[in-house]
């Protein structure tokens, strides 16, 4: 064993489990690809200011959880704690919003970093698939993203998740609500930290998970009672479009999400099989974020779904993903001549799109057949000296145990037809 271990709060993804993570990423991306979203990749670190301004100075992410550092050149950088600010920064920098087609629809997949207290389902390095639609204010866009996330989860066989939906209002009605909430919070018995948060961003206090705080929030004013007519109408349309698509959601007037940039539509996907870390993903509209980071007004909406959380949710429901075997054919040579001949066949099979592997390291027949078994291959090819003389190779069906001699020149065609 090496003297080094993965850093605290992180994990390594190893086969065979990693195949599950790939399948989850693939399933989340598929509906996006079919709906006009193009793939984007951004750096793993950005200017600290991008997150301080974008995510919000008062959020836990910026105050406590960000990995910030200074480079040798004196730049202040941070490992990305979330995806939206980076994607928007990249879109603005490349002027994608000026190329004509709005909204600019982008999807991404990657690792994110937060210095959190590690626990099951919450890591310091985690993986997300996200989608952003930049530059259009349209309830149909909000609805589209909620529907696509629902579709992605259902395609994986996930059933017991719930969609929570709320509206956070806009720059017209939110300030009025904010003031009413602040007045209410000032009258409560809260610690200094929480009172300070109430002054900077009172909505974050509603999201406080502590029992002592939640108990006092019973009579808190609700945002929905303060929405202006435009926000009410907008939210009503999002709800109607989502419902018409057959997607079930719950209205949650207390849902605020942990980032400062959200406006209007906000939603979360929760799974009750995950204990305290019940959110598997979430998102919302962030109409003011572009201006916050120095861009033009670009109303936008997006979400991010946690890959590790989704895998935990699948396990909680006992859903087994149909993962194709990684190897279809496993080649077992007996002797040097057989090695040469069979290795060439494996190369030919691979060129023809057949997933094939080889018994490396000169194993004897027994050890090599064990390896073939472990590989999950449907067929084994066994080649000995007598087979070479006769110009055949033994084709063994690993399920039935049946073995047939097939002409060396026919084997590729034979396997292609058997494997369909």
CATH number of 18-173+227-316: 3.30.930.10
pLDDT band at 258 (very low <50, low <70, confident <90, very high): low
Residue range 222-243, pLDDT digits in tens: 888 999 999 999 999 999 999 9
Q: What percent of the chain has pLDDT above 90?
A: 73
Q: What does the block give as tokens for 65?
A: 């959880």
Rama region for 106: left / alpha / beta (φ>0; ψ in -120 to 50; rest): beta
Residue 277 scores a pLDDT above 70: no
Relative to beta strand 379-383, strand 161-167 is unpaired
SS3 label, residue 122: strand
Question: What are the extents of the domains in the chain?
Answer: 18-173+227-316, 329-418
Residue among 192, 201, 178, 205 at smallest CA distance from 55: 201
Between residues 105 and 183, the one the model is more confident about:
105
**Which element (helix H / strand E) includes 215?**
helix 211-216
CATH 3.40.50.800 assigned to domain 329-418? The reply is yes
Half-sphere exposure of 123 (CA within 13 A, CB side): 19
Which strands sit side by side in the sheet containing 45-47, from one edge to the other?
45-47, 76-79, 68-70
**What does the alpha-carbon distance between residue 313 and residue 272 come to, in Å, rounded to a whole number?**
9
Asked if 312 contacts 274 with a C-beta cutoff of 8 angstroms, the reply is yes
- When pLDDT is cut at 50, 70 and 90, the band that residue 297 belongs to is very high
pLDDT confidence tier of residue 56, bands split at 50, 70 and 90: confident
Residue of 359, 362, 399 whose CA lies nearest to 379: 399
Instruction: Calculate the alpha carbon distances from 316 to 18, 214, 269, 273, 309 in Å.
Output: 17, 27, 15, 6, 10
Average pLDDT rounded to a whole number, residues 323-343: 93
Q: CB 131: neighbour CB atoms within 10 A?
A: 27
pLDDT for res 205:
84
DSSP conformational letter for 77 = E
pLDDT at 138 over 80: yes
pTM here is: 0.90
């Amino acid at each position: 064993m090496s003297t080094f271990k993965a850093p605290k709060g992180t994990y390594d993804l190893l086969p065979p489990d990693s195949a599950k993570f790939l399948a989850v990423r693939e399933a989340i991306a598929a509906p996006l690809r079919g709906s006009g979203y193009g793939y984007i990749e951004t750096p793993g670190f950005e200017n600290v200011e991008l997150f301080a301004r974008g995510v919000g100075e008062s959020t836990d992410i910026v105050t406590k959880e960000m990995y910030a550092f200074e480079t040798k050149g004196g730049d202040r950088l941070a490992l990305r704690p979330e995806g939206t600010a980076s994607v928007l920064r990249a879109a603005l920098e490349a002027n994608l919003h000026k190329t004509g087609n709005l909204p600019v629809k982008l999807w991404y997949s990657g690792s994110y970093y937060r210095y959190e207290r590690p626990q099951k389902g919450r890591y310091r390095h985690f993986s997300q698939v996200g989608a952003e639609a930049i530059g259009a204010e349209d309830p149909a866009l909000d609805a589209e993203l909620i529907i696509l996330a629902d579709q992605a989860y259902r395609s994986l066989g996930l059933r017991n998740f719930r969609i929570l939906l709320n509206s956070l209002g806009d720059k017209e009605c939110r300030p009025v609500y904010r003031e009413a909430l602040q007045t209410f919070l000032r009258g409560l018995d809260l610690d200094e930290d929480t009172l300070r948060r109430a002054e900077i961003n009172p909505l974050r206090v509603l999201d406080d998970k502590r029992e002592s705080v939640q108990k006092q929030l019973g009579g808190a004013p609700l945002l929905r009672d303060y929405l202006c007519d435009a926000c009410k109408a907008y939210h009503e349309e999002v709800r109607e479009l989502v419902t018409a698509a057959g997607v079930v959601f719950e209205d949650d007037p207390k849902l605020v999400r942990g980032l400062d940039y959200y406006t209007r539509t906000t939603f979360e996907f929760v799974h009750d099989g995950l204990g305290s870390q019940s959110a598997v993903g979430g998102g919302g509209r962030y109409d003011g974020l572009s201006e916050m980071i120095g861009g033009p007004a670009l109303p936008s909406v997006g979400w991010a779904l946690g890959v590790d959380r989704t895998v935990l949710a699948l396990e909680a429901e006992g859903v087994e993903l149909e993962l194709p075997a990684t190897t279809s054919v496993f080649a077992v040579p007996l002797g040097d001549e057989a090695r040469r001949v069979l290795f060439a066949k494996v190369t030919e099979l691979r060129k023809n799109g057949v997933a094939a592997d080889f018994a490396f390291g000169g194993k004897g027949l027994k050890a090599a057949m064990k390896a073939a078994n472990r590989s999950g291959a449907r067929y084994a090819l066994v080649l000995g000296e007598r087979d070479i003389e006769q110009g055949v190779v033994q084709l063994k069906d690993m399920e039935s145990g049946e073995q047939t001699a097939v002409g060396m020149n026919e084997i590729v065609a034979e396997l292609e037809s058997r494997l369909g």
